[in-house]
Amino acid sequence: MATTILTELSDEEAIVHIARHFAKVAVAAGKTDCESLAEACEELLKEEEVKWEDVLDVVSEPFDLVCSQTADKETEAAFNVLCHLAVTKADPEYRDIFFSQLAKNIASSTNHTAVRTRMLVSLFNQAQGPQVKYSCLYHLLTFTASIKNADTILPYLKDADTWISSWQLDEQSLRKLLLTISNTLKEADKGLESYRYLVKYLSRFEHVDPDALGPVKADAARAAVEAVRLPNLYQMGDLFDLKVVRQLADDPTYSREYELLKIFTMETLAEFNAFWEKHSAHFASLEVSHEHSLRKIRVLTLTSLAASHEQLTYAEVAEALQVDEAEVETWLILAFSAQLVSAKMDQVKRLITIDKCVQRYFSPTQWREIKSKLVQWRDAIRPLLTTVLPATTSTTPHQHLQRLDR
């Protein structure tokens, strides 16, 4: 079947040519029941009112086998015609099912990867409904990850958050997509982006019965390890507070991952050293580098020190980080570069004055306390608004109170 000839034929002629091509390839591969494929297609086309859904069903039946045998330009051209006919001739509901099935078949094997990738991308671009776009994207992601070529679809994932919010997927599909995106990004060495989607995935289990969280614990433990391994991730409270992560605390398999995450979320070098001494072999098996972890926990320890002091001596910092005083400025620069601490160093007095500092972890209780204080402030300022504002502004006190309540 010549690639160019299909564009010169009518829809009916093109689909018959495709049927003959598919039959030839299928029979050569041992599928002898496809010998009459073209004849069956022609019979359907003779009907007074052609049912294109039936035509596409018949012709596309051996498509998976054809792809595995000859995923070449001819097969790709045939695929494009099938998609065109599904869009222009078939019922929209059938088209969505047809696209989803094609995507599943194309992604089922890993030979002829370049052609298969192009076909999957084309399906996603042509798909119109949320559910079918989800299905095509899912198969595209799993396929490119399986062939170690996830980099090719990274440009598509920049819009993933927009798709997720607009598609309004059911909970099961949403979880599946978030985890698949995370795994694909990890395969593409996009560790921080992968981690963020993994946290989004785990957050979808907040209202699930704790007894049903067993299958998700492995993903939660992986997220804990990834949080520690990522060199530029210093705040992990959003992960630590998740229900499924808290379930790891008493789990015989994953409690060590929970404890490590807890240390990096809110504790210091002293706790890390004691913990690592007991469990170094376990975390070495998970490829958690002691050197990198030590560097990170020292920066976090310095952050905690700065959060609780207005001034620190070089000696105090050196003691807490277990380093020489000569290294203190280096560690402070690292904390500054990570945008965790802003401070002034007095090299003569060997003194550090803290300007501002990031709070490493806000517990749910602390957030509630902040909310309570804000409510108290709002209530306290109400009388002032009702007495002072009428004399100084055209805006009514009622309008200001409405803004405060927002």
Residue 380 and residue 322 share a domain: no
Whether 256 is in a domain gets the answer no
Region 119-136: mean pLDDT is: 94
| pLDDT computed for residue 2 by the predictor | 46
Report the pLDDT averaged over residues 268-277. Answer: 96
The answer on 352 and 372 residing in a single domain is no
DSSP secondary structure string for all residues of 308-353: T-SEEEHHHHHHHHTS-GGGHHHHHHHHHHTTSEEEEEETTTTEEE
pLDDT of residue 235: 94
120 and 89 part of one domain: yes
**What angle, rounded to 10 degrees, do the helices at 37-45 and 11-28 form?**
160
pLDDT at 376: 78
351-357: strand order across its sheet: 311-313, 351-357, 341-346
63 and 86 co-located in one domain: yes
- What residues make up the domain containing 310? 295-357
The pLDDT of 345-354, averaged and rounded, is 94
Examine the domain organization and report whether 312 and 389 are in the same domain: no
What domain count does the chain have?
Answer: 3
Q: Nearest-5° angle of CA 249, CA 252, CA 257? A: 50
What would the pLDDT profile of 16-39 be if each residue is shown by its tens digit? 999 998 999 888 888 888 888 999
Q: What is the mean pLDDT of the chain?
A: 89
Residue 365: pLDDT band with limits 50, 70, 90: low
How deeply is 68 buried, as exposed, middle or buried, from its count of CB atoms within 10 A (0-12, 13-18, 19+)? Answer: middle
Long-range contacts of 281-285 (CB under 8 A, 24+ apart): 282/256, 283/225, 283/256
A 10 A CB-CB count for 132 gives: 22
Same domain, yes or no: 395 and 346: no
pLDDT at 213: 92
Say yes or no to pLDDT of 363 above 80. Answer: no
Res. 384 pLDDT band, cuts 50 70 90: low
What percent of the chain lies above the pLDDT cut of 70?
90
Query: Do 14 and 103 share a structural domain?
Result: yes
Say if 191 falls within a structural domain: yes
CA 77: distance to chain centroid?
Answer: 33
* CATH code, domain carrying 325: 1.10.10.10
Average pLDDT of span 303-310: 94
pLDDT of residue 390: 61
More confident residue, 200 or 391: 200
- Identify which of 313, 309, 310 has the alpha carbon closest to the alpha carbon of residue 349: 313
pLDDT at 398: 59
Question: If you average pLDDT over residues 277-296, what whole number do you get?
Answer: 95
**Residue 115 placed within a domain:** yes
Q: Is the pLDDT of residue 272 over 50?
A: yes
pLDDT at residue 396, rounded to an integer: 60
pLDDT at 68: 84
- Clarify whether residues 15 and 60 are in a common domain: yes
* Residue 344 shares a structural domain with residue 394: no
